[in-house]
Structure 1
Amino acid sequence: MLLTGLLLGAALGYALQRSRFCVTTAFRDVFVARSTRWLTAFLLVIAVHALGLAILQTAGVVPAPSEPLALPATAVGALIFGVAIVLAAGCATGTYFRAGEGLVGSWIALAAYAVSAGAMKYGPLAELTGWARSATVPATTIHGTLGLSPWVLVVVLGAGVALLVHRNVSAAPRLAVATLPPRRTGLAHLLAERSWGAYPTAVGIGVLATIAWPLSIATGRESGLGITTPSANLATYLVTADPQLVDWGVFLVLGILLGSFVAAKASGEFRVRVPDATQATRSVVGGVGMGVGASLAGGCTIGNAMVETAQFTYQGWLSFALMLLGAGLGTRWFVLHGPRTAARTVATTSPTTTATA
């Protein structure tokens, strides 16, 4: 059953690579390009996932969240994480799929992320994490506080996101883009050459996130998609060789690497690319910040900003807001006010220039 994590992770990694779907890009584009296209796509993931989770919770397959909000740790950790993903040039899943493409900077960030998360969860900083997250307030879900059915929030979120998608699609300019003649036809062209659109991919990711729950629960892991704890488990396992650390989530993150590698090889986009000293340093600092921030916040852009938000927890939506704020601060400090060459590099390599709606 653990292999289902590998298979689902591979499907997720493949989709992420073909669409260039990265939450760092979604957040950064709000401040650099004044574009909400990828942020809207991310909200669409949350809306689809929320619908799927509501169905599973109504059927009794998935338990409702019950942990109180660790307010100070969540706020501080999410802000740190938001700044860190700009330095690392990728969010949790973004770092994984870019590592699968051959970006050495992402390898560095990924190693720093996993090791620091392991230190925060199981190593010398575990007591600090436990102390920070022990300060809680008696609030778990938004609908619980309001005394509403979660289905009310599912409908409201779905309607709001549908309007945003319609607005973005209607406002998007129809530009002719010069491309090379396709080397493949039919399904092969769709899978290996054509860039996947933001919104169809978002729906697919939301479906995969929903499927993850029963597959993970079947192995005894009562959680859905998650990146930080599986990364910490993997790093700690490599040191301790404790087989109990190898769960469905570890297979999931390994699957993301595998799926993105296969997608990059199939499309001819795999290349080993070595960063300069500046970006290598930023990758280390960003990776450490991601591990520390996500451990304090209780999750990353997947565990918090996608999974917890789909359950309408305060932790999820607070993290979403502060990760976005942190990414904005990081963009201002390290991109917009950095060297002009760095700003030009970000603008010309942004995934938003290649994917289609």
Structure 2
Amino acid sequence: MVWMIISGLIVGSMLGFVMQRTRFCLTGGFRDMYVQKNNKMFYALLIAITIQSIGLLILSVTGVFKITYEPFPIVGTIIGSFIFGIGIILAGGCATGTWYRAGEGLIGSWIALFMYALGASATKFGFLKPISESINSKTLANSSMTETTGIPFWVFVVVLSAVTLFLVNRTLSKKKMMAVPQLKQRFTGIKHYLFEKRYHTFAAAIIIGLIALLAWPMSISTGREGGLGITTPSAKLVQFITTGDTAILDWGVFLVLGIFVGSYMAAKGSREFKWRLPDIKTIKNSVIGGLFMGFGASLAGGCSIGNGLVATATMSWQGWISLVFMIFGSWFMSYFVFVRPMQQYKKSAKTSAVTQTA
């Protein structure tokens, strides 16, 4: 029990610290792919997936552990991931993002986090469970890409590595992507590097990929098979608070608590922690977005981390299908939240200019 608490908090704190300091946000990355035609954060995600997949290949070949696969619901994964994608745009952050931004003092993220955990708990253990089971009991399929195609795991890893290397090299070859603007230095020594220095998104992705890889042996050592996971641990935390059942607590619960702790430490050290009250619109979006995230991620069997970062690295159909549809969901909602209002503004400004000219 002691090792479970310590190891979970360590990995979670590392993840929360790095994500807060580097502003590693998949929600913003998915949104920017559509709104700004900027794929940098998506490429960073591919880096993290690739790093983890290479590590998993080495660990599995050397016999440290064997990756196992369970059947996954195709329809539930598609619908749930799309709903999750809508939710993260409304909430202003994905599952991990709400945890680490809550550690910065954002009240809106606290609201979204609570509703996300509540929605996940209701879907996994509560009154929404029959709906989830009804959808997920159909269209079950083998999630292993290796078993369904006959192509060895290492081939998928090599292809992913080659694609990622090509995209990253092409991006870094552009002059404007080479340098990362630095703020005026306030700290010296190690404090400067930990709490002030700005790092390239790709450097952050490498570290996050290594943390995601470390999560596997750390989690397995406590009897929990798997890597990083946010949705189920968040739901279990709600269950523990309402029931007091300590049997619910596992490595994943302490992982998500560690994300909050690490983010808080990073925000305080960099002087970025500040309680910030949202407006009424943000509160409404946080509530709705959080519920969509919790229900969608539970239905899909994972969030942007569980499916988008971890399952993809294991070469699981569930992970890659989920990643595609959560991106589609985020694009769908981005149109109504960002693109359409901007189009209406430009149209109104153009009409006003024509009227004034006349």
TM-score by length of 1: 0.92
The match for 1:279 among 282, 285, 295 is: 282
Which residue in the other structure is 1:173 paired with? 176
Distance in structure 1 (CA, Å) of the matches to 2:42 and 2:89 = 15
Quote the offset at 1:141 in angstroms: 1.7
The match for 1:155 among 155, 158, 167 is: 158
The match for 2:229 among 226, 238, 241 is: 226
> 1:261-291: CA deviations, max 9, x gaps?
0000000111111110001000000000000
Quote the offset at 1:339 in angstroms: 6.7
What SS class does the counterpart of residue 135 from structure 1 fall into? coil
Which residue in the other structure is 1:15 paired with? 18
Percent identity, please: 45
Q: Which ranges of structure 2 fall in alignment gaps of 5 or more residues?
A: 347-358
Distance in structure 1 (CA, Å) of the matches to 2:303 and 2:224 = 18
The match for 1:295 among 294, 298, 304 is: 298
Q: How do 1:242-281 residues align onto structure 2 when only pairs under 5 Å count? A: 242-281=245-284
2:171 and 2:177 in contact (8 A); partners too: no
Supply the AA of the counterpart residue of 1:135. Answer: K
1:68 and 1:136 in contact (8 A); partners too: no
In structure 2, the CA distance between the partners of 1:235 and 1:121, relative to structure 1 (3 Å rule), is same
1:335 and 1:342 in contact (8 A); partners too: no
Distance in structure 2 (CA, Å) of the matches to 1:52 and 1:152 = 14
Moved more, 163-172 or 318-327: 163-172
Which residue in the other structure is 1:320 paired with? 323
Quote the offset at 1:174 in angstroms: 5.9
Which residue in the other structure is 1:346 paired with? none
The match for 2:335 among 332, 336, 341 is: 332
> 1:32-84: CA deviations, max 9, x gaps?
21111111001111111111111222233333232123011000000000111
Supply the AA of the counterpart residue of 1:252. Answer: L
Distance in structure 1 (CA, Å) of the matches to 2:236 and 2:317 = 26
Quote the offset at 1:214 in angstroms: 0.9
Distance in structure 2 (CA, Å) of the matches to 1:278 and 1:106 = 13
The match for 1:47 among 50, 75, 100 is: 50
The answer to whether the aligner puts 1:68 opposite 2:71 as a matched pair is yes
Supply the AA of the counterpart residue of 2:297. Answer: A
> 1:164-218: CA deviations, max 9, x gaps?
1111111251698876531112321111011222111111111111111111111
Quote the offset at 1:220 in angstroms: 1.1
Distance in structure 2 (CA, Å) of the matches to 1:151 and 1:116 = 37
What SS class does the counterpart of residue 337 from structure 1 fall into? helix
Which residue in the other structure is 1:184 paired with? 187
Aligned residues: 343
The match for 2:133 among 122, 130, 133 is: 130
In structure 2, the CA distance between the partners of 1:54 and 1:177, relative to structure 1 (3 Å rule), is closer
What SS class does the counterpart of residue 101 from structure 1 fall into? coil
In structure 2, the CA distance between the partners of 1:180 and 1:68, relative to structure 1 (3 Å rule), is closer
TM-score by length of 2: 0.92
Which residue in the other structure is 1:94 paired with? 97
The answer to whether the aligner puts 1:83 opposite 2:86 as a matched pair is yes
1:45 and 1:205 in contact (8 A); partners too: yes
What SS class does the counterpart of residue 341 from structure 2 fall into? coil
Supply the AA of the counterpart residue of 2:217. Answer: P
Quote the offset at 1:125 in angstroms: 1.5
1:46 and 1:310 in contact (8 A); partners too: yes
Root mean square deviation, CA, Å = 1.9
Which residue in the other structure is 1:106 paired with? 109
In structure 2, the CA distance between the partners of 1:119 and 1:177, relative to structure 1 (3 Å rule), is closer
Distance in structure 2 (CA, Å) of the matches to 1:257 and 1:87 = 21
What SS class does the counterpart of residue 338 from structure 1 fall into? helix
Distance in structure 1 (CA, Å) of the matches to 2:314 and 2:177 = 36
Moved over 4 A (4+): 174-180, 339-343
Distance in structure 1 (CA, Å) of the matches to 2:182 and 2:312 = 38
1:62 and 1:213 in contact (8 A); partners too: no
Supply the AA of the counterpart residue of 1:247. Answer: D
For the pair shown, the structure with the greater C-alpha radius of gyration is: 2
Distance in structure 2 (CA, Å) of the matches to 1:66 and 1:106 = 33
Distance in structure 2 (CA, Å) of the matches to 1:64 and 1:320 = 20
Q: Which ranges of structure 1 fall in alignment gaps of 5 or more residues?
A: 344-357
Distance in structure 2 (CA, Å) of the matches to 1:324 and 1:183 = 38
Supply the AA of the counterpart residue of 2:60. Answer: Q
The answer to whether the aligner puts 1:212 opposite 2:215 as a matched pair is yes
Which residue in the other structure is 1:240 paired with? 243
In structure 2, the CA distance between the partners of 1:231 and 1:176, relative to structure 1 (3 Å rule), is closer
Supply the AA of the counterpart residue of 1:190. Answer: Y
In structure 2, the CA distance between the partners of 1:244 and 1:336, relative to structure 1 (3 Å rule), is same
